Amino acid sequence: MRIHTLRLNNFGLFRGVTEFDLLPKVKYNKERPVILVGGKNGAGKTTILEAVRLCLYGPLLLGSRVSAREYEEYLRSRVHRNDDALVMNTTASVALEFEHSELGKSHRYTVERSWDIGTKKIKTHLLVQRDGDPIDDLDHAHADDFLRDLIPPGVSQLYFFDGEKIQELAESDDDDAALSDAIRSLLGLDLVERLSGDLQIYANRLQKLDNIDTLQKELDNVEKEIQDKQDRHLKSRIALDEAQSRVDDIAKQIAATEARIAKEGGAFADVRGKLESDRKRLRTAIEDAENQLRQLAEGLLPFSLAKSLCRDLTNQLKNEDRVQGWRSHRTLLQERIERLHIATRKELAGIDGLTDETRGVLADRITQMVGKLGEPPEGLPDVKLVHRLSSDLKESLFEGIRGATEYVPDRAKKVIGQLETDTRDLQKTEAALKKAPKEDQLRPLVERVNDLNREIGGADADLKRALAEYSSAEFSLKEERSRKAKLTDKKSEAEKQGEREQMVESVNAALEEYVRELTADKSRELAQCVRRRFQQLWRKGDIVRRIEIDPISFIVKLYDRHDRVVPKTQLSAGEKQMYAISMLWGLAEVSRRPLPMVIDTPLGRLDGEHRSHLVEHYFPEASHQVIILSTDTEIDETYFNDLKPHLSHVYHLSYEQSQGRTVVSEGYFWNHRNQELTNAS
């Protein structure tokens, strides 16, 4: 990892946008790893280290248990205050641009945290870009996790530290606790312990699940229950079959008895009463028809047998009526003609000039002419008057002839037809009555059928009860079998759980072995590294020949050339600091992480000889990129000159009291420029 730039915007003492180019430069074909930032106390050096940590860890900068309110208060306090401004700043940001390799490919990342101060709340924003584009496979919620995985906070304390960290390690009588945390973070053992803890939680959950022995006992009980319920099911099946057989048997008996009743005229027996009623009705109807025919026979019915005579009589009577009428007319006309003849002669006698002969001829002539009126009309029948009946009698006779020839035959025909129908029906009815058995003949069979019907009713009730019992037994058996299946599945799952528990134990044992071996190996490697760096930095380096780090307690023991333990309390304050720096250096070296080193005020309590060792041996070799934040009393002009061959470039932080802000410029306290550094090297 290489840091390219750090950009501060209204952060701490830095007003507006301040950007630091922190990428080591290549000069004379050699990369110079050290970037020196000089500034007096209160000029903002620690703010630079703080900005790097804030970019990478956000709230974790303040600790693992910081609350959201505490983080917001921190962000609010870190916004640059400009008391002369009319409008106070409400936004601030820090941005870190660095280069990082993943799977052998180098990417350029930009991480920017910004925040806006509202009246009540602060809105925070996190931007993570890779090669200029937002990381699309990370959402905001996982961006912090990505950054923490990139440089774990526990590891960062080995690379981003200040003089207080050195002082803490140096003055600690028992540095085993701090060393333990460092080694665990360094080796990623905290992740292993977290995994082991998760596995233990998982194992505890498995243990809370069903026990195999308990499940087996439940299965045994269920087997007994199933056997009992199978017996009940079988008995209910037999009872159901018996009940069904009884119902079928009774039904067959009923069918057979009913067939016997039918065979013996049972059907006619059922309608015997109706047949007798019909016979009585038909007999009455026949008697009525016979009476009607008898009455018709006593009346005009016989004349209907002589229709031609009736027609001749009708014609005779009508002809006689015409002849009789003409004769009456002729008698009356002859009397009138006689009086006309007499009157005509009298009239002619009174006429003068006529002879008697003429009068005689005229009178005869008129009489002759009028006499033609008494001649019979053409078509008058020549019949002899034999009946000489009155008009009323003739009309009555005509009515009787019409009845005998028209009405009476029709009436007689209808009565005869009905009589024939009733006679045939009567014959059928009497035949059916002859077939119908008497009631006492069928009574035993009918009573048998009735008894059987009552018996089948009881049998049906028994069948329903047997069916209900069978259904209940079957349901109960199915339920118990389902319970057995579930218990069997649970037992199978419990057996798998047992395998998982064994697997968890195996994994935990492997993890413990892995941690033990890894810790022991790394402790030995760290001890050698620390001894080598300690001898490199310590002016009395040959005193310590051997260093031991207990892989369990992490107690560090220093041994002299006689293999005697050198108590840490015997070291001077400066030597303790050198020891602490050796420990940090060794830890960083053992971690094998290509990370930059940011060190704030590292030389505060060292004497001149130890400072020279740090300047000459530690800073140039601590990492491929070393950013030193120093005062002018730590890296003074002498050490500055010693460090020149390794310096890439320098910055100077100057706090301007009148402006209330820090101003950044190139060069160091005595205004050395990069060009001067180049020339000096």
Q: Tell me, yes or no, whether 239 and 367 share the same domain.
A: yes
Asked whether 215 and 490 are in contact (CB, 8 A), the reply is yes
Residue 511 lies in a domain: no
Q: Evaluate whether residue 493 is within a structural domain.
A: no
- The total domain count for the chain is 2
Find where tokens 């009323």 sit. Answer: 392
Q: What is the pLDDT of residue 632?
A: 86
Does a structural domain hold residue 553?
Answer: no
Question: Could you give the CA distance from residue 626 to residue 2 in angstroms, rounded to a whole number?
Answer: 10
In a domain, 319, yes or no: yes
Q: How many of the other CB atoms lie within 10 Å of CB of 39?
A: 26
Residue 636 domain flag:
yes
Q: How far is CA 629 from CA 35, 207, 470, 537, 577, in A?
A: 9, 55, 92, 20, 17
Cα separation of 654 and 46, whole Å?
13
Residue 264 gets which letter from DSSP?
T
Same domain? 24 vs 112: yes
The verdict on 250 and 114 lying in the same domain is no
230 domain residue, yes or no: yes
392-420 burial by CB neighbour count: b if 16+ within 10 A, else e?
Answer: eebeebeeebebbbeebbebbeebeeebe
For residues 143 and 2, membership in a common domain is answered with yes
Q: End of a domain among 445, 473, 501?
A: 473
Round to whole Å and give the CA distance between 239 and 12.
Answer: 95
User: Which amino acid, one-letter code, is at 562?
Assistant: H
Determine the Cα–Cα distance for residues 608 and 614; give it in Å rounded to an integer: 10
DSSP-derived letter for residue 81 is P
SS3 state at 94: strand
Average pLDDT by consecutive 10-residue portion of the chain (681 residues)?
94 94 91 93 91 91 85 92 81 94 86 90 89 70 76 77 72 64 70 79 74 86 94 95 95 90 71 85 94 91 88 88 86 85 84 83 84 81 82 87 88 93 92 75 84 93 95 94 92 82 85 86 88 78 78 83 82 76 84 86 71 85 92 87 91 91 89 46 44
Q: What is the DSSP letter of 569?
A: G
Q: Which of 420, 445, 473 is the last residue of a domain?
A: 473
Looking at the domain assignment, is residue 567 inside a domain? no
Q: Are residues 241 and 390 in the same domain?
A: yes
- First-to-last alpha carbon distance for the chain, in angstroms, is 26
The answer on 131 and 46 residing in a single domain is yes
CB 323 within 8 A of CB 383: yes
- Tokens 């069928």 belong to 442
Residue span of the structural domain in which 384 resides: 225-473
Q: Please state the length of the chain.
A: 681
Q: Any long-range contacts for 478-485 (C-beta under 8 Å, 24+ apart)? A: 480/222, 480/225, 480/226, 480/229, 481/226, 483/222, 484/219, 484/222, 484/223, 484/226
Question: Of the residues 415, 440, 473, which one is the last residue of a structural domain?
Answer: 473
User: What is the 8-class DSSP label of residue 305?
Assistant: G
- d(Cα 202, Cα 501) in Å, to the nearest integer? 9
- 0.75 exceeded by pTM: no
Q: Are residues 464 and 344 in the same domain?
A: yes
Q: Specify burial of residue 464 (Cβ count, 10 A radius: 0-12, 13-18, 19+).
A: exposed
pLDDT at 434: 79
The reply to whether 132 and 235 lie within a common domain is no
Are 145 and 231 found together in one domain?
A: no
Contacts of 281 by beta carbon, 8 Å cutoff, 6+ apart = none
Q: What is the CATH number of the domain that holds 640?
A: 3.40.50
Whether residue 104 lies inside any domain: the answer is: yes
Tell me how far apart the alpha carbons of residues 178 and 554 are, in angstroms, rounded to a whole number.
9
- Residue in this structure with the two tokens 């990428």, named with its chain if needed: 23
What would the 3-class secondary structure string for 467-479 be? HHHHHHHHHHHHH
Note whether 133 and 235 are same-domain residues.
Answer: no
Alpha-carbon gap, residue 218 to 487, rounded angstroms: 8
Same domain? For 125 and 23 the reply is yes
DSSP state of 625: S
Same domain, 104 and 12: yes
In degrees rounded to 5, what are phi and psi of residue 157? -70, -15
